[in-house]
Amino acid sequence: MDKTRIAVLVSGGGTNLQALIDAQKNGVLKSGEIVLVISNNAIAYALTRAAEAGIPALTVTKKDCGGQEPFEDALIAALEEHRIDLIVLAGFMSILSERFTSRFERRIINVHPSLIPSFCGKGFYGLKVHEAALAYGVKVTGATVHFVNEIPDGGRIILQKAVNILPDDTPQSLQKRVMERAEWVILPEAAELVSSQIQKEKEYRQ
C-alpha cells in the first residue's frame, strides 16, 4: 500500500519537523512519508534539517509572490505537483485563508502549544502562549494537534497532551518542556493517525 504523502510547512528552526523526521526513522510514523518541506522563510533552519534528511524543500514567500492569493496559489501548485495527501503545519507562521483550507478539508493538521481552547486563536503563537499561561496562573498547560480550518486554532482536536507548570517556570523553560514532552510526542502520533486514515480511504476508493 502506498504511503500517505506528507508536506510539512515551516517558518523557523524546524524542531517539530525534526520530531517528524525522527518519528519516520523510528517507525512511529509508518503510514505516511514526508516527501516535501515548504518554508515561507528563506533562511529557516528547518530547510537545513530537510536537506540533511534528504527531503526536497522549497521556499515560497508572500513577498515574492506579491500577496496572499498568489502566495496560496504557489503553495497549491507545489502541493499538487508533489501529489500531497496531508499537510502538516509545524511552526508555520502564516495564516491560511478559507479558500486554501477548504480546498484541503481534513487534510491539514497543526500543532499549538496550549490545551485548546485555552490560550489560542489570533495573536497566540510562540512564546506569547506560554507568557499568557503563566500570567493567568494555570497549573497545567500542554499541546494540541488539530485539523486546520478558516478559524485560527478552530479545527477539530485530534490529540492533546498535558504538561504541569512548575512554580519557578519562565516562558522559555515552559516552552521547552511543552515542546519536549507534548509537541514532539503528539505531532508524530497525530500525523500517523491521520496518514493511516487517509491510506484506508484510498484503499476503499480503489
Burial 47-86 (b: 16+ CB within 10 A, else e): bebbeebebebbebeeeebeeeeebbebbeebbeebebbb
How far, in Å, CA of 183 to CA of 82, rounded? 26
Residue 112: active-site member: yes
Exactly one of 82, 112, 130, 146 is catalytic; which is it? 112
111 DSSP 8-state letter: E
Amino acid at 72: E
Burial of residue 137 (number of CB atoms within 10 Å: 0-12, 13-18, 19+): exposed
User: Please, where are the H alpha helices in 5-152?
Assistant: 15-26, 45-52, 62-65, 68-81, 98-103, 127-136
Please identify every residue annotated as catalytic: 112
